[in-house]
C-alpha cells in the first residue's frame, strides 16, 4: 500500500477540484480486504455543505477519476466512497467519521 498521507492528499485534492460546490473537511481511509479477498480502500469523505449541493453524477463517477491517480502513486486497492455531511456528525470529529 502506498503512503496513506500521500493517498489522502491525492484524494482530497481531486475531490476539492471536482466537488467545488462543497468544502471537503476530511478524508478518512480504511484499508480492508473485501469478501472476495481483494484489497479495498474505504474512503469516508466529510464535507461541509448540504446534501443537495453534491452532484450525484460527480460522486458516483469519482472512482473513475480517482483510481488512475491512486495507481500512479502505487495504491492498487479499489476505492469505495462514502460521503458524510459535517452537520450529520454531531459532536464527533470529522477525522473520526
pLDDT tens, 42-74?
Answer: 999 999 988 888 888 899 999 999 999 999 999
CA 69 to chain centre: 13
Nearest to 87 by CA among 37, 53, 50: 50
Nearest to 78 by CA among 24, 45, 37: 37
Angle between helices 62-72 and 4-18 (to 10 degrees): 140
Q: Confidence band (pLDDT; 50, 70, 90) for 1?
A: low
Domains of the chain as residue ranges with CATH: 4-88 (3.30.300.20)
Distance CA 92, CA 3 (A): 26
User: What's the CA dihedral at 71, 75, 79, 84 to 10 degrees?
Assistant: -120
Amino acid at each position: 500500500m502506498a503512503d496513506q498521507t500521500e493517498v489522502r492528499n491525492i484524494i482530497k485534492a481531486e475531490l476539492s477540484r471536482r466537488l467545488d460546490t462543497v468544502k471537503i473537511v476530511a478524508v478518512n481511509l480504511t484499508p480492508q480486504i473485501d469478501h472476495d479477498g481483494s484489497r479495498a480502500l474505504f474512503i469516508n469523505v466529510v464535507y461541509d455543505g448540504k446534501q443537495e449541493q453534491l452532484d450525484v453524477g460527480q460522486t458516483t463517477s469519482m472512482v473513475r477519476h480517482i483510481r488512475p491517480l491512486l495507481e500512479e502513486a502505487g495504491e492498487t486497492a479499489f476505492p469505495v466512497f462514502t460521503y458524510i455531511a459535517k452537520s450529520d456528525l454531531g459532536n464527533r470529529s470529522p477525522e473520526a467519521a
